Every structure is written in C-alpha cells, then in structure tokens.
Amino acid sequence: MNTQDELKIRDMEILFQPFHSRKLDTPTRIVLPAMTRGFSPGGAPTDEVAAYYQRRAKHEVGLIITEGTFIDEPSASPSSNYPNFFGGAPLRGWKKVLEAVHTTDCKIAPQLWHVGMARPFKGENLPNPELPPIGPSGIDVNTLRQTTDPMSAAKIEEVIDAFARAAADAKRLGFDGVEIHGAHGYLIDQFFWKETNRRTDEYGGDLVGRTRFASRIIHAVRKAVGSQFPIIFRFSQWKTGHYDAKLARTPVELEDFLTPLTEAGVDIFDCSTRRFWEPEFEGSRLNLAGWTKKLTGKPAISAGSVGLNREFTNVFDGGPEAETASIEPLVERMQAGEFDLIAVGRALLADAEWAQKIHHSREKEIRQFTKEALQSLS
C-alpha cells in the first residue's frame, strides 16, 4: 500500500468515528435514511423487513431511520403495503425490527409520516378509499390546484395528537429516538410551502406562521416522550415534482424557518438535498446541512447522492443509472465539521455492506444501484 492510499484510509476514519450528542450517541457517522420500501402487507413489517434492517446494522451503519411509518389518522397513507406505526400487528412487527437491529450497536429511530395531499383519491391498495386526502388548503401537490376542503381546526388537532401518540409508542417499544417527516412535499411540508398553504389563520401567512403546525407537532411529541428522548426533524427545500422549490432563499430566511422548530424541541436536523456537494446559497460552499448546523447549533445530517455520480431522480427520468463515485469530497467536508452525520440511501439500499466495503478499501466489490434494487429487500 502506498502513502497516498494510507492517507486516504486514515482520512476516511471520520465516517467511522462515534457520534456523540446530548441525547444520542451512534457508533459511526453513517446513517441509513428513510426510504419507502412497500413490503409491509396490511401495514405490518414482516420478518423479512427486520432482516433487511439488521443486515445494514451489522455492517457499520451507525443510525437507521426507518422507512416512513404512518401515524394513526385515516388518510395518512397511500398504500396498505407501507408500514403503519399504530395498532397491534404493526407495532409487534416494529418491535421485531428493533430487536433485530439491537443485536448490533447500531441505533434506530422510526420516521413518522403523513402524506397529506400527496395521497391519491383512488388507487390500488389505498387504505380507507372512501376518504379524501387532507392538507392545509386542500391543494394538490402536483397540479397546485385545490381539490378538497382545507383542514379544519379539529382535524389539525387530531393529526398533532396522532404524531404524539406514535412518538410515545416509539419510546415505549425501546427505539433510540424518533424522526418527524417534514420534507418532500408531504403534509407538514405542505404547511411550510406557500404554494400549498394559503391559509389566513394562525397556520398560514408568512414563513414563520407556516411553521406553526410543525412546531406544535414537535412540542406535542416532546411532551409525550420527555426531555431526554431524541427528536430528529427532516426537512427539504425541494418537493416531489417541484425540485426547484425553495422555502428559504437566503440564510436569514432559513434562520427564520429553523428557529421556531429548534425552540419547539428538535435535537437533530435531517437536511434532505439531492446532491450533498451543492452549496445552498451564493457566497459560501456550505450545503443545507452546513447552514442548518451553523444557524441553529444543532447536529445536522447531510444527504444527497452519496457514493454515486448521479442524483436519485435520474434513473426514473430515463437517464443512465448511477455509478459508484469517490467519497473524498464528503470526507473533506466532514473533516471541516460542516455537518455531523451523513445519510447514504441508494448505495446502502443496493449493497447492505457498502459502509464496511468503503471502510476496508473494498470499493471494487460494491454492488451498483439499479432500479431492480427497489423490487426486493436484499
């Protein structure tokens, strides 16, 4: 091994150092992020789902954030094959997942989710098909046209309470934390975005007003789980189908957005971007996670095509599939302290041993990501 290779291996160790914070410690800095899989018939995770997560936990992943799991509100889910986080069978299934992951030193947190207006009016495997989707202003996320009534005050309270109950169940079962999904154009993000939130009450208006729904959810979750249970909050600028959308166009606006969420009780921000190497604002190389950590002082998870040379949408848009790419730019940013943890999605989906292979210079053995990887729990 030459000197350059030795330096590369030494530098890469930052990915495999433990992460320590006030409420959450992980054995490495690598995170398996939430990725919808759809292998939970009737909303209950199977033994195969437990084995899927355990395989990644055994190979140097430090934190697993589960695929999105639905809160107990009848219109939360678009498919009965996606897992729930309420009811006897789903919670028993998640307990098995938890126990499988905890045979290792990896930590695990469920992601709590409501798709809001991203739920179709009809479709195969649609739970409670007689119910319409719900959202702040009843606006379809794709067309940006109103298709149903805005959420009532009573429905808002119901959803807030459902998030809190799910978080309490996560703590009771023995999970290491909980993530609230506030990204990608789903329900909470529909409140954030001015195009889908045209309310004139306390949940609408300016950017700070549009954070009120999320802030109340976070506050209710904090009350349900106590002061020491970690709350992770996932957010994004982009929305599914609207990849150029922006909640904040300047660092000042981003701080205005993040401050109420921080004050409500977020411990770690999960900052979803499509390409981790892209700067969020002009005049600085910091990405969204870098700015979030700088502005809030909270630990931040970065994400976006790690280990791959093309973004995740490329494979679905008819473009060439992604190939393995160097992670040296990522290592350099982590050494600079720009963010604390890194989410590795498709690369870990395709190869459960990706982290271990990277750590031990076995890059040539890594299985490439293809669309076919989405069709099974390998």
Beta bridge partners of residue 282, listed in sequence order: none
- Which residue, chain included where needed, has tokens 């709350």? 231
**Choice among 52, 82, 186, 203 that is catalytic:** 186
- How many other C-beta atoms are found inside a 10 Å radius of the C-beta of residue 334? 21
Tell me how far apart the alpha carbons of residues 340 and 337 are, in angstroms, rounded to a whole number: 7
Say yes or no to pLDDT of 328 above 60: yes
Tell me how far apart the alpha carbons of residues 328 and 346 are, in angstroms, rounded to a whole number: 18
152 Cα distance to chain centroid: 27
> Residue 306: its pLDDT value, please?
87
Q: Kindly state the average pLDDT of the residues 256-282.
A: 96
Tell me how far apart the alpha carbons of residues 239 and 247 are, in angstroms, rounded to a whole number: 10
DSSP states of 34-95 as a string?
A: -------GGG---HHHHHHHHHHHTTT--EEEEEEEE-S-TTS-S-TTSPBSSSHHHHHHHH
Say yes or no to pLDDT of 117 above 60: yes
140 Cα distance to chain centroid: 22
Tell me how far apart the alpha carbons of residues 333 and 327 are, in angstroms, rounded to a whole number: 10
Q: Judging by beta carbons within 10 Å of its beta carbon (0-12, 13-18, 19+), is residue 47 exposed, middle or buried?
A: exposed
Closest CA to 87 of 67, 66, 71: 71
Q: What is the torsion angle, in degrees rounded to the nearest 10, for the CA atoms of residue 115, residue 116, residue 120 and residue 122?
A: 110
Q: Kindly state the average pLDDT of the residues 50-77.
A: 98
Give every CB contact of residue 194 below 8 A, 6+ residues apart in sequence. 207, 210
Please report, rounded to a whole number, the percentage of residues in the chain having pLDDT higher than 90.
85
The better pLDDT of the pair 224, 311 is held by 224
Tell me how far apart the alpha carbons of residues 185 and 240 are, in angstroms, rounded to a whole number: 6
pLDDT band at 321 (very low <50, low <70, confident <90, very high): low
What structural domains does the chain harbor? Answer: 25-375 (3.20.20.70)
Here the tokens at position 11 are 């530098």
Here the tokens at position 63 are 């934190």
Are residues 88 and 43 in contact, defined by beta-carbon separation less than 8 angstroms? Answer: no
Q: Is 60 left (phi over 0), alpha (psi -120 to 50) or beta?
A: left
Tell me how far apart the alpha carbons of residues 307 and 31 are, in angstroms, rounded to a whole number: 13
Give every CB contact of residue 364 below 8 A, 6+ residues apart in sequence. none
Q: Is 52 a catalytic residue?
A: no
> Residue 5: its pLDDT value, please?
53
Say yes or no to pLDDT of 325 above 80: no
Tell me how far apart the alpha carbons of residues 7 and 10 are, in angstroms, rounded to a whole number: 5
Are residues 192 and 180 in contact, defined by beta-carbon separation less than 8 angstroms? Answer: no
Tell me how far apart the alpha carbons of residues 135 and 114 are, in angstroms, rounded to a whole number: 10
Q: Is 193 left (phi over 0), alpha (psi -120 to 50) or beta?
A: beta
Q: Kindly state the average pLDDT of the residues 201-208.
A: 97
Tell me how far apart the alpha carbons of residues 134 and 157 are, in angstroms, rounded to a whole number: 13
Q: What's the predicted TM-score (pTM) here?
A: 0.94
> Residue 7: its pLDDT value, please?
46
Tell me how far apart the alpha carbons of residues 293 and 289 are, in angstroms, rounded to a whole number: 6
> Residue 3: its pLDDT value, please?
46
Tell me how far apart the alpha carbons of residues 129 and 74 are, in angstroms, rounded to a whole number: 10
Model pLDDT for residues 354-368, shown as the tens digit of each residue: 999 999 989 899 998
Model pLDDT for residues 271-284, shown as the tens digit of each residue: 999 999 999 999 99
